[in-house]
Amino acid sequence: MKEQKGGPLTIQSVERALAILETLAQAARPLSVIDICEAVGVQRTTLYALINTLIAGGYVLRGEDGRLTISSKLYELSSMYPARLPIVHRGNRHITEMAQRYHVAMRLSICTDEGRVVTVASSEPAFHVSNVAPQGGELALHATSTGKVLLAYLPREESHARIAACGMERFTAYTITDREALERDVAEVARRGYAQDEREYLDDTTCLSFPILNRDKRLMAILSATSDYWHMKEVYDAVVREGLQRSKIISMDLSGGTPISAF
């Protein structure tokens, strides 16, 4: 065990095992023991013992060439998580109805204490929506509507710091790559109560995101609608109107209020 200054005791071997899992989960290909050694910074003898433990537990798989990959066990465990969340119970009906009514892909995402956004529920329309951004991974704050909602509802100093640290990578011809322009866009999100990504992250795709706030007006989740650019132009006003209404209903419901639902 080791003691964090000003914090609780932690177990180093567990920290290292978690680092191995994160390294494998983020890797685009199977990794060798040497790859993991370099990434995690653990001696090879110690690493072998940790890896063997993870393999025995079913969390890691070893191929015939000796390379290692993450197993499906973590996915199986994580798939049990959303069902326990109040936001999923309260919000599932709303995303299902909007997906069916407007033929858009709907998502509910939660905001973690670490300032990340994690999708916990989704609903697809009857027909396939192309170019929907993949779930999981690092969020492009400057190029996605969910990222802009997160920036708009963070404390001001934290929002400015996140924008300053943002890589501003260009994904399409419409991506905002100027920090001052992003600051203005985020301020507009806070003013009007929703964000849009119009072909900024994926070509020919528009995404709209709406904040779900707690009693203290702090962001706890995000409601999002995605479709191809031309279809979203046809339903844009209706999706904005209903997205604003439904996100407020979910906010009140989760905060113990008594929302008056029109749906």
pLDDT digits (tens, 9 = 90+) for 76-129: 888 887 778 889 999 999 999 999 999 999 999 998 877 788 889 999 986 545
pLDDT at 56 over 60: yes
Residue 95 and residue 66 share a domain: no
Stated pTM of the model: 0.78
CA quadruple 40, 27, 108, 72: dihedral positive or negative? negative
CB 249 within 8 A of CB 94: yes
Residues 111, 209: Cα–Cα separation, whole Å: 13
**DSSP classification of residue 90:** H
Long-range CB contacts for residues 57-60, cutoff 8 Å, separation at least 24: 59/21, 60/20, 60/21, 60/24
**Helix (H) or strand (E) run with residue 108 in it:** strand 105-111
pLDDT at 4 over 80: no
Tokens representing residue 25 in the block: 């989960």
Identify the pLDDT of residue 55: 94
Residue 47 and residue 145 share a domain: no
pLDDT at 6 over 70: no
User: What is the residue whose two structure tokens read 């999708």?
Assistant: 119
Q: What is the dihedral of CA 210, 213, 218, 222, to 10 degrees?
A: -40
Q: Are strands 205-213 and 195-198 parallel, antiparallel or unpaired?
A: antiparallel
pLDDT digits (tens, 9 = 90+) for 228-263: 999 999 999 999 999 999 999 999 998 876 554 555
Structural domains of the chain, count = 2
Residue 186 and residue 66 share a domain: no
pLDDT at 183 over 80: yes
Domain, as residue range, for 67: 2-71
Residue 232 and residue 195 share a domain: yes
Identify the pLDDT of residue 185: 97
DSSP for 146-173?
A: HHHHHHHHS-HHHHHHHHHH------ST
Q: Is residue 259 part of a domain?
A: no
Identify the pLDDT of residue 110: 92
Write down the mean pLDDT value for the chain: 88
pLDDT digits (tens, 9 = 90+) for 184-235: 999 999 999 999 999 999 999 999 999 999 988 899 999 999 999 999 999 9
CATH code (residue 218): 3.30.450.40
Residue 184 and residue 105 share a domain: yes
Q: Is residue 200 part of a domain?
A: yes
Tokens representing residue 178 in the block: 């100027």
Domain boundary among 44, 71, 98: 71
Residues 60, 149: Cα–Cα separation, whole Å: 36
Polymer length of the chain: 263
Q: Under 8 Å CB-to-CB from 61, ≥6 apart: which residues?
A: 55, 68, 69, 70, 71
CATH code (residue 47): 1.10.10.10
Identify the pLDDT of residue 131: 46
Identify the pLDDT of residue 189: 97
pLDDT digits (tens, 9 = 90+) for 33-47: 999 999 998 888 889
Q: How far is residue 21 CA from its own chain's centroid?
A: 19
Residue 98 and residue 184 share a domain: yes
